[in-house]
Amino acid sequence: MYKRRFRLPHVVSLATLLLLGGCGYFGSDEKLQLEQAWLAQDPQLKQVVEHIRAKGIDVVAQSAAAGTVSACVAEKLKQDPLGKLVDVEGALVESAKVAELLGDLQRVMEQEVSIEQITSLLQKGADVTAYAKSLIEQQGLEQAIQSLKQMALASEQFAQQDLGAHFQQLLQECKASN
């Protein structure tokens, strides 16, 4: 039987992935609950993360008083090659290895995506689209792809670490130093 494979234009396919992500097909309520539970252990860190997600890292870095946990977290995230990904809810408990996540993100953003690939992503419960959506919203498609390449190069030292573990370690360093 002839199997027809539809190729969607790059922008349309990415938009489809992002729309599916926005409709709840991607992302995990479990991850959100785990993240909320982790943040509930420290209301100050929870407030900082929520503020960064609402206002952006740069705004928080500029407005936070020197020597505060907010200033530390914002500055560390600005300097961290993966800092931009903290905007995605669930990132603080993301179990994907940094190298794999960045590779998946880059493949999704650089290729035309077929219906089969979308189906595969749905079946795997790919949270990749949430990260792609966040980067594209912040930077636009071309700049987001460039940022991914820079992240991949700069994150070699913790490429095999879970993204969530990386962020948790960064946040705990700020909490410990204040």
Q: pLDDT tens-digit profile of 106-128?
A: 877 776 655 566 556 555 545 77
Q: Token pair for residue 133?
A: 């959506």
pLDDT of residue 114: 59
Residue count of the chain: 178
Phi, psi dihedral angles at 93 (to 5 degrees): -125, 15
- pLDDT at 34 exceeding the cut of 60: yes
- Tell how many helices (H) and how many strands (E) occur in the chain: 10, 0
How many other C-beta atoms can be found within 10 angstroms of the C-beta atom of residue 162?
A: 16
| 64-98 pLDDT tens trace | 999 999 999 999 999 999 999 999 999 999 998 99
In the predicted structure, residue 22 carries a pLDDT above the cut 50: no
CA-to-CA separations, 96 to 92, 131, 159, 169, in angstroms, rounded: 11, 12, 10, 15
Paired strand residues for 7? 114
pTM reported for the whole predicted model: 0.72
Region of 90 on the Ramachandran plot (φ > 0 left; ψ -120 to 50 alpha; else beta): left
